[in-house]
Amino acid sequence: LLISAFRNLRADLKEEMRVLKEEVRDLKEEVRDLKEEMRASEDRLNKRIDEVRTEMKEEVRASEERVNRRIDEVKEEMREVKGEMKELKALLIQALQLSPAAKP
């Protein structure tokens, strides 16, 4: 009777060990799957970060080009205004020199 009980206990323990080993195997597989999903998610995230970074650089570059063009336009306008002011100054000096009121 004792030997029979021992054999039954041993059989039960073997079955329990088999079930536990199977659970461990399943858990390991699940962990591998989760790691693969994490790597794939990380890859997608890094790719998106690179895309956004590239888009931002392109937008900044385009903005810089627009600002630089506008600066060049303003500089040209300032040169034109300076030229017009010189012409007006010359005309004013000439008018003052020709004016009878300016002569003593």
The percentage of the chain sitting over the pLDDT mark of 70, rounded to a whole number, equals 96
- For residue 104, tell me if it sits in a domain: no
Tokens of 76: 């040209």
CB 102 within 8 A of CB 96: yes
Q: What is the pLDDT of residues 21-66, one digit of tens each?
A: 999 999 999 999 999 999 999 999 999 999 999 999 999 999 999 9
Domain count, the chain: 1
How far apart CA 20 and CA 12 sit, in angstroms, is: 12
Instruction: Tell me the average pLDDT across 94-99.
Output: 87
Range of the domain at 84: 2-99
pLDDT at 1: 83
How far apart CA 25 and CA 48 sit, in angstroms, is: 35
